[in-house]
Amino acid sequence: MPVKYNRIVIKMSGEALQGEEPSGISLDTLSYVCSEIKSVWEIGCQVAVVVGGGNIFRGGEKFAVFGLDRAVADYMGMLATVINGLAIQNALEKLGVPTRVMSALEIKQVAEPYIRRRAIRHLEKGRIVIFVAGTGNPYFTTDTAASLRAAEIHAELVVKATKVDGVYSADPRKDPTAVRYKKLSYLDVIKQRLQVMDITAITMCMENHIPIVVLDLHKRGNIKRVVQGEEVGTFIHE
């Protein structure tokens, strides 16, 4: 089956790698996530991944509790994403998938520095590129980093891989009347303050005409189905 989207950015939280562990990385969950990423790569889609670091360090919570400077806390969070990126790289390469980790912070011993043209060349050569360290700047989320990288590499879709099967009108775990949206506009998300991605990330996708799909990462085959054009989760577009 042909692919509808030739180049995508998959954005996942650090908690997506946590599984049932209280923190850190679950090896079983890591293996599952990487098998899902590989299944998309195998059908000819060029794949970039942006991963958060919340399973290791959540800056927003920690700096308030311990009095850390916000910028320091954000840099600590960026380093946590590097750990997750290296774990994903190792797991993918064990599955026979060529990868490159590209960091917005310079850490030459473990990752290439992020250079836009080099990232595009890696994708064209069939390598999965894992973007770590966010944008390299404090005060910006990894959601914003995903939108920024998607715009820079001319991605056709941002996949927000989460624990839920789409965007709801309210938290479905707390409100049984919550309704799942099949489609939304960028402005719907902003005006209704729906908890999809931060406003900066949504606005960047809107200005660069990059659609977003929010889906359940833990339902096998979801990302592959989206890439092949099936309706999965919630689709956010013009």
Looking at 56-70, 76-90, 105-119, 129-143, which range is the least confident one? Answer: 56-70
Please tell me the predicted confidence (pLDDT) of residue 238: 85
| 3-state SS string for 125-174 | CCCEEEEECCCCCCCCCHHHHHHHHHHHCCCCEEEEEECCCCEECCCCCC
Which of 221, 215, 235 shows the shortest CA–CA distance to 10? 215
Residue 1 lies inside a defined structural domain of this protein? no
Find all residues with CB under 8 Å of 217, minimum gap 6, and list them: 12, 16, 33, 36, 161, 162, 163, 223
Q: Is the pLDDT of residue 195 over 90?
A: no
Residue 29 lies inside a defined structural domain of this protein? yes
CATH number reported for the structural domain that contains residue 146 in this entry: 3.40.1160.10
Binned at pLDDT 50, 70 and 90, residue 177 comes out as confident
Task: State the residue for tokens 């689709």.
Answer: 235
Residue 198 lies inside a defined structural domain of this protein? yes
Mean pLDDT of the 17-25 span: 91
Cα gap 67→81, rounded to integer Å? 22
Query: Of the spans 69-73, 144-148, 164-168, 172-176, which averages the highest pLDDT?
Result: 144-148
Please tell me the predicted confidence (pLDDT) of residue 19: 87
Per-residue pLDDT of 70-83, as tens digits, reads 888 899 999 999 99
Mean pLDDT of the 88-97 span: 98
Which of 147, 8, 15, 17 shows the shortest CA–CA distance to 90? 17
Q: How many domains does the chain have?
A: 1
Domain ranges, residue 222: 7-237
Please tell me the predicted confidence (pLDDT) of residue 174: 84
Residue 2 lies inside a defined structural domain of this protein? no
Please tell me the predicted confidence (pLDDT) of residue 46: 98
* Residue count (the chain): 238
Per-residue pLDDT of 23-82, as tens digits, reads 899 999 999 999 999 999 999 999 999 999 999 987 666 666 677 888 888 999 999 999
* Contact indicator for 142, 9 with CB cutoff of 8 Å: no
pTM: 0.94
